Amino acid sequence: MAGENVLHFDDSNFEAEVLNSETPVLVDFWAEWCAPCHMLTPVLGELSDDYANKLKVGKVDVDKARKTAMQFGIQNIPTVILFDKGKSVDSFVGVRRKGDYEAAINATLGID
């Protein structure tokens, strides 16, 4: 099934799963009530499949992980942040084309 590699992060596991990750992590900050956020779900699933074993892809529900959302100054959703070695290296506010995410991921992974 597409997207079965998409992980779920919250206040209790964000540091371990994202900030301390050995591999880059693409994180979608979203909420259940956010219609544009749901439009992004299939794209995240495709990215998680396309970059399996090279990149983690996960979601943070801002209503359930308020501390993490505040820590990264999330004011609009969806907001997608690409982390590498615990640092934010790129971010996107709103729904974007899959190619926009791929370009950022490829640059981080050193793929031409």
Mean pLDDT of 35-48: 95
Of the candidates 90, 85, 77, 98, the one whose C-alpha atom is nearest the C-alpha of residue 2 is: 98
Residue range 90-107: mean pLDDT, rounded:
96
| Mean pLDDT of the 90-94 span | 96
* Whole-number pLDDT of residue 112: 77
The catalytically annotated residue of 18, 37, 57, 60 is: 37
Higher pLDDT, 12 or 3: 12
- State the catalytic residue, choosing from 7, 31, 34, 95: 34
∠ CA 75-80-85, nearest 5°, is 115
The yes-or-no verdict on residue 1 having pLDDT over 80 is: no
Q: Is 8 a catalytic residue?
A: no
**Portion of the chain with pLDDT greater than 70, in percent:** 96
Q: 7-109 is classed in which CATH architecture?
A: 3-Layer(aba) Sandwich (3.40)
Q: What is the mean pLDDT of residues 46-57?
A: 95
SS3 42: helix
Is residue 32 part of the annotated active site? The answer reads: no
**Residue 6, Cα to own-chain centre: how many angstroms?**
9
- pTM for the full model? 0.95
